[in-house]
Amino acid sequence: MDQTSLSHTSLLPLVNQLFDLEKKLNKLENGQKAQRNLRRMRESLEDLGLFFHDPLGERYDETRTDCEASIAGEYSENLVITEVLKPIIHLKEGPSVQLLQLGLVIVAAKQSK
Amino acid sequence: MINFGIDLGTTNSAIAKFEKGQVVIFRNPIGQKDTLPSVVAFRQNRIVVGDKAREYLAKAPKRVIGSFKRKMGTNETYQVEGVQGAISPADLSAYVLKELKNFVHTGEKVESAVITIPASFDTVQSNATRKAGEYAGFESVKLLQEPIAASLAYANQDEADKFEEGQWLVYDLGGGTFDVALIKIHDGEMQVLDHEGDNFLGGTDFDQAIVEQLLIPHLEEKGKFEDLLNQMRSASGKYNGLYHKLLLLAEDAKVQLSTQPDAEIEFETEDDEGNELEILFTIKRAEFEAILAPYLEKTLEMMRNIVQRNSLNPEQLKFVLMVGGSTYIPYVREQVAQQLNIEVNTRIDPTTAVAVGAAFYAGTQSTKRSAPAVEIPMGDTQFQGIQVKVAYQKATQELTEYFTAKFEGKTEGLFYRITRGDGGFDTGLKPLQEQIEEDLPLVKDTFNTFSLRVLDEQNNSLPLDVPAIGITQGRYSVVGQPLPNDICLEVDDVENLTTVLEVVFEKNTVLPVRKTITKQITRTIAKGSNEHLTISIVEGPGTALPAANQTIGFIRISGTELERDLIAGSDVEITLEMSESRDLSIQAYLMMTDQEYENAFSPSERAVNVPRLAEELYALADKIRKEIEEAEMQDNYETAQKLVDLEYEILDIADKCKRLKEDDVTDTKFQLEDQKRKIARKVDEITRDKYLIRVKQEYFKVKREMEDVLEYYTPGEEDQKLFTKMMNEEKSTLSTNSTLKIQELINRVRRLSFRIKWNNSNFIRNFFMQLRNGWYGTFTSPAKAQDLIRQGDQAIEVGNDARLRQVINALLALLPPAARNQINSGGTGIG
pLDDT digit string (tens) for B35-63? 999 999 988 778 899 998 888 877 766 78
Residue B246 has pLDDT above 70, yes or no: yes
In tens, the pLDDT along B388-413 reads 888 887 767 788 888 999 888 888 88
Tell me the DSSP string of B88-126: -HHHHHHHHHHHHHTT-TT-----EEEEEE-TT--HHHH
For residue B301, the SS3 value is helix
- Under 8 Å CB pairs connecting chains A and B tally to 108
Among B43, B56, B244, B252, pick the best mutation site for testing chain A contact (most A Cβ within 10 A).
B244
The CA distance from B444 to the nearest CA of chain A, in Å, is 9
Do B448 and A97 lie within an 8 Å CB cutoff? yes
Distance CA(B676)–CA(B820), nearest Å, equals 35
Residue B221 has pLDDT above 80, yes or no: yes
In tens, the pLDDT along B316-360 reads 899 999 999 899 999 999 999 998 888 899 989 999 999 999 998
Average pLDDT, chain A: 85
Q: Which of B56, B248, B448 sits opposite A62 (nearest CB)?
A: B56
Between residues B97 and B244, the one the model is more confident about: B97
Between residues B580 and B644, the one the model is more confident about: B644
Q: How confident is the model at residue B158 (pLDDT cuts 50, 70, 90)?
A: low
- Lowest mean pLDDT of B9-13, B61-65, B655-659, name the range: B61-65
> Which of A42, A49, A34, A35 lies closest to A17 in space, CA to CA?
A42
In tens, the pLDDT along B106-116 reads 878 888 899 99
- According to the model, what pLDDT value does residue B691 have? 74
Q: How confident is the model at residue B447 (pLDDT cuts 50, 70, 90)?
A: confident
Q: Which of B43, B59, B244 sits opposite A106 (nearest CB)?
A: B244
Question: Which residues of B fall within a CB distance of 8 Å from A99?
Answer: 31-32, 422-424
In tens, the pLDDT along B136-157 reads 999 888 888 899 899 988 887 7
Mean of the pLDDT values across residues B636-640?
Answer: 85
Q: How confident is the model at residue B666 (pLDDT cuts 50, 70, 90)?
A: low
- According to the model, what pLDDT value does residue B358 have? 92
- Lowest mean pLDDT of B270-284, B376-390, B558-572, B622-636, name the range: B376-390
Contacts for B500 with CB less than 8 Å, ≥ 6 apart:
B490, B491, B493, B546, B739, B740, B743
In tens, the pLDDT along A35-53 reads 888 888 998 898 888 999 9
For residue B775, the SS3 value is coil
Inter-residue contact A103 to A55 (CB < 8 Å):
yes
- Nearest-CA residue of chain A relative to B476? A95
- According to the model, what pLDDT value does residue B377 have? 34
Give the containing element (helix H, strand E) for B443: none
Inter-residue contact B434 to B389 (CB < 8 Å):
no
For residue A84, the SS3 value is strand
> Which of B508, B511, B517, B560 lies closest to B535 in space, CA to CA?
B517
Question: Which residues of A fall within a CB distance of 8 Å from B44?
Answer: 77
Mean of the pLDDT values across residues B676-702?
Answer: 82
Average pLDDT, chain B: 83
- φ/ψ of B34, rounded to 5, equals -75, -25
Inter-residue contact B252 to B203 (CB < 8 Å):
no
Judged by a CB distance cut-off of 8 A, whether residue A2 touches chain B is yes
Q: How far apart are the first and last CA of chain A?
A: 51
In chain A, the percentage of residues whose pLDDT exceeds 90 is 48
- Lowest mean pLDDT of A66-70, B380-384, B710-714, B733-737, name the range: B380-384
Do B725 and A104 lie within an 8 Å CB cutoff? no
In tens, the pLDDT along B82-108 reads 777 889 999 999 999 999 998 988 878
Asked if ipTM goes beyond 0.95, one says no
Between residues B713 and A7, the one the model is more confident about: B713
In tens, the pLDDT along B489-517 reads 988 876 667 788 888 888 767 667 888 88
- According to the model, what pLDDT value does residue A37 have? 87
In chain B, the percentage of residues whose pLDDT exceeds 70 is 90
Q: Which of A39, A74, A97 sits opposite B422 (nearest CB)?
A: A97
- According to the model, what pLDDT value does residue B4 have? 92
- According to the model, what pLDDT value does residue A1 have? 38
In tens, the pLDDT along B471-485 reads 877 643 333 455 667
- According to the model, what pLDDT value does residue B492 have? 82
Residue B578 has pLDDT above 60, yes or no: yes
- Nearest-CA residue of chain A relative to B751? A1
Residue B375 has pLDDT above 80, yes or no: no
Judged by a CB distance cut-off of 8 A, whether residue A29 touches chain B is no
Pairing outcome for strands B4-8 and B12-19: antiparallel
Q: How far is CA B797 from CA B308, B765, B791, in A?
A: 72, 11, 10
3 state SS for B712-753:
HCCCCHHHHHHHHHHHHHHHHHHHCCCHHHHHHHHHHHHHHH
Give the residue ranges of DSSP H helices in B178-271: 203-209, 216-222, 228-233, 240-256
Beta strands in B740-819, from DSSP E residues, in sequence order: none
Residue B776 has pLDDT above 80, yes or no: no
Highest mean pLDDT among B202-206, B604-608, B716-720: B202-206
Kindly report whether the peptide bond that precedes residue B431 is cis, defined as omega within 30 degrees of 0. Answer: no
